[in-house]
């Protein structure tokens, strides 16, 4: 029973640190070096996942009225954002620089990834800010809907204004003429046309009013929310939340026990696989072409990392050539 409980706790620890690209067996070998920072970063990543799902769900809840579609789309998009964020976190955790080169954090590669992380955080923050101030936004939105409806009514009326004026002018002209049965019929037709146009205007206004009332105006909510100073601090908080795990991971020195062990482990793995590749290369020529003692040409001293090229051979002078020839 005790072993089972220990296994569950171990799995939980491993899962948390694995979210930020930490190799738990190496972390154990390093005697849990900087474990508090790794745990805190992993915990923040889980918080970011929950916030992302809630944010995306609220956004789709404003746009749709189908709970099953909202859950499906929210799960998909929140996991997509989360996967991209985890990938960026892990690329940061793999960049290990010595302490004296820590200023390299502000290079083009890191800055582009930080910008992408902040962009994700900014997108996630939009539904959150309109949720926090949803009550204030209700009043602003009602005012906006009222103005929008009034503008529509005015524009809709102006579309038929020239036709109505023409019909009224024709009616006035017929009324100024001596009465006759034909003129009475024409006046009735004009009245029917005016009534028909007014009915079209009213129907369009009713449809517009219903459409405006039923719309949630998600994008307009975001625009209206920017008028409230509180939203600035909400966005700032979300961006800080997204950036904190990166800062925690990168604040750990590349000379720490964990990163030293990880670097040595990765190096040994690469060297082992590279040695195996060269052996298979030699055996391939041996079996297929019956050529023995074939060696893989390496122009670098530290293959396969290839950072130190072999020096060029020294060229002898003409005198050295003749001296060697005589000898």
Instruction: Please give the pLDDT value at position 105.
Output: 57
**pLDDT per residue over 191-247, tens digit each?**
888 889 889 999 999 999 898 888 888 888 888 888 889 999 999 999 999 999 888
Whether pTM > 0.75 for this model: the answer is no
Distance, in Å, from the CA atom of 40 to the CA atom of 87, rounded to the nearest integer, reads 18
Token pair for 190: 């004009």
User: What pLDDT is recorded for position 102?
Assistant: 47
Query: Residue 107's pLDDT band (boundaries 50, 70, 90)?
Result: low
Closest to 25 in 3D by CA, of 258, 270, 264: 258
CA distances from 29 to 13, 88, 257 (A): 15, 26, 9
Question: What are the residue ranges spanned by the domains of the chain?
Answer: 2-134+229-258, 136-221, 263-326
Higher pLDDT, 128 or 104: 128
Tokens standing for 271?
């060297």
Please, what is the average pLDDT of the chain? 82
Angstrom distance (rounded) from CA 126 to CA 136: 15
Tokens of 209: 């009013």
What percent of the chain clears pLDDT 90, i.e. is strictly above it? Answer: 16
Reported as a pLDDT band with limits 50, 70 and 90, residue 10 is very low
Distance CA 181, CA 290 (A): 117
Q: Which helix (H) or strand (E) holds 157?
A: helix 134-176
For residue 7, is pLDDT > 60?
A: no
What would the pLDDT profile of 244-280 be if each residue is shown by its tens digit?
Answer: 988 888 887 777 888 888 888 888 888 899 888 888 8
Mean pLDDT of 173-200: 83
pLDDT tier for residue 125 given thresholds of 50, 70 and 90: very high
């Amino acid at each position: 029973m005790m072993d089972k409980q220990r296994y569950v706790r171990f799995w939980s620890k491993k899962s948390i640190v694995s979210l930020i690209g930490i190799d738990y067996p190496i972390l154990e070998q390093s005697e849990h070096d900087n474990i508090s920072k790794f745990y805190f970063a992993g915990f923040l990543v889980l918080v970011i996942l929950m916030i992302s799902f809630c944010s995306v769900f609220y956004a789709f809840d404003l746009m749709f009225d189908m709970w099953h579609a909202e859950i499906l789309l929210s799960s998909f998009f929140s996991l997509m954002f989360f996967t991209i964020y985890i990938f960026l976190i892990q690329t940061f955790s793999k960049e290990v620089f010595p302490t004296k080169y820590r200023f390299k954090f502000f290079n083009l590669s890191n800055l582009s990834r930080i910008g992408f992380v902040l962009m994700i955080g900014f997108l996630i923050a939009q539904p959150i800010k309109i949720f926090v101030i949803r009550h204030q936004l209700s009043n602003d939105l009602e005012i906006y809907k009222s103005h929008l409806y009034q503008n529509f009514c005015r524009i809709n009326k102006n579309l038929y204004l020239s036709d109505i004026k023409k019909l009224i002018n024709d009616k006035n002209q017929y009324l100024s003429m001596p009465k006759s049965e034909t003129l009475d019929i024409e006046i009735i037709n004009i009245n029917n046309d005016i009534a028909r146009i007014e009915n079209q205007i009213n129907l369009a206004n009713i449809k517009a009013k219903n459409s405006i009332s039923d719309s949630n105006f998600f994008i307009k909510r975001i625009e209206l929310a920017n008028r409230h100073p509180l939203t600035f601090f909400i966005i700032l908080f979300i961006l800080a939340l997204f950036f904190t795990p990166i800062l925690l991971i990168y604040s750990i020195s590349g000379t720490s026990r964990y990163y030293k062990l990880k670097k040595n482990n990765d190096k040994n793995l690469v060297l082992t696989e590279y040695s195996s590749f060269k052996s298979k290369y030699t055996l391939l020529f041996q079996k297929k072409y019956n050529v023995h003692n074939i060696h893989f040409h390496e122009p670098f001293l530290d293959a396969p990392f290839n950072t130190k090229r072999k020096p060029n051979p020294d060229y002898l002078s003409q005198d050295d050539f003749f001296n060697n020839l005589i000898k």
